[in-house]
Amino acid sequence: MEKRRIGSLEVTVVGIGCDNFGGRIDEARTHEVVHAALDAGVNFFDTADDYPVIPPGLSTKSEEFMGRALKGHREEIILATKFGLPYDDEHLGGGRPEYIRRSIEESLRRLDTDYVDLYQFHQPDPETPIADTLGALAELVDDGKVIEIGCSNFTVEQMREASSVVKEGKARFVSVQNQYSLLYREAELEVLPECEATGLAFLPFFPLFNGLLAGGYRRGAPWPEDSRFLDASDERKASVFSEHNLDIIESLATYAEARGHTLLDLTFARLLANPSLASVIAGAVTAEQVHSNAATASWKLSATEIAEIDALAPIS
């Protein structure tokens, strides 16, 4: 599988987002998904110390399950995790140096590893100067506990501020992870152009927009039996399954099928047409989903196809 760079790291263009581990799927299913990914040639796994986010109260399970599932395979993979979001009364989040030092030790223990390849600041902390956060992260790099550092949910202004305060010769953010999909294209307005101009790698979260772009939800068709929306509120369902979104889904699916591909193929291909995008870290709850995701990497879009897809799913 093709690989792209995140700083000094080389990651497969299809990765695994790990928020489902410990939430939607148990430890045995997590093991199946992780090993299906390894078998498919996927080397990039992205989690966080507060995963799974839903249901509440199970935070840290993703890291714990991954630590056991990846035993014996550590040198084969690129392992990313995050810190900074609150997840219980003793972990209130933020970017304070003392919190960072505590968080990395706890993540290393749960992941059963001596180092993290990519350690990401999950969201900006308005109470802590970014220079203090970066200083503490640089110490982790110097100590060998972290290889590269990244940020998440940062605006262009926050990315530039972080770059401006890095001390000479010290670690700087090499990636930014923000929401991005064909149904949420805001990153194309400022953040992706900034990444291309500065050499930062971009990682999209929610690349399948809650599963709508995976192909399992079509107008008039029954939902998958394991749908995350079966117990969702009416307000949540209405916001995701809007007529606007369903119109785009149908248009994109028809376009893909006319060319012998699936909506999932099209989704991955279009995101990966962005040269700054390092890996599509989609979640998976079955081995079959992992193999479907991995197979999408073969469709390389032409400039004409990119323009046609963008006309069907415009930036709004």
- Per CATH, the homologous superfamily of domain 3-312 is NADP-dependent oxidoreductase domain (3.20.20.100)
* Predicted confidence band of residue 54 (pLDDT cuts 50, 70, 90): confident
- Alpha-carbon distance of 227 to 238, in angstroms, equals 15
- Alpha-carbon distance of 84 to 99, in angstroms, equals 8
**Which residues are annotated as catalytic?**
51
CA angle 159, 161, 166 (to 5 degrees): 100
* Predicted confidence band of residue 231 (pLDDT cuts 50, 70, 90): low
User: Of 98-112, 179-193, 219-233, which gets the smallest average pLDDT?
Assistant: 219-233
* Predicted confidence band of residue 288 (pLDDT cuts 50, 70, 90): very high
**Residue 236 scores a pLDDT above 90:** no
Quickly list H helices, the chain: 27-39, 61-69, 97-111, 130-142, 156-164, 191-198, 234-240, 243-257, 263-272, 287-295, 303-312
* Predicted confidence band of residue 234 (pLDDT cuts 50, 70, 90): low
Q: Taking phi first (over 0 means left), then psi (-120 to 50 degrees means alpha), and beta for anything else, what does residue 2 get? A: beta
Provide the residue ranges of all domains of the chain, joining segments of one domain with +.
3-312
Among 150, 147, 116, 118, which Cα is nearest to 133's? 150
Q: Taking phi first (over 0 means left), then psi (-120 to 50 degrees means alpha), and beta for anything else, what does residue 209 get? A: left
* Predicted confidence band of residue 247 (pLDDT cuts 50, 70, 90): very high
pLDDT tens digits for 115-163?
999 999 999 999 999 999 999 999 999 999 999 999 999 999 999 999 9
Q: pTM for the whole thing?
A: 0.93
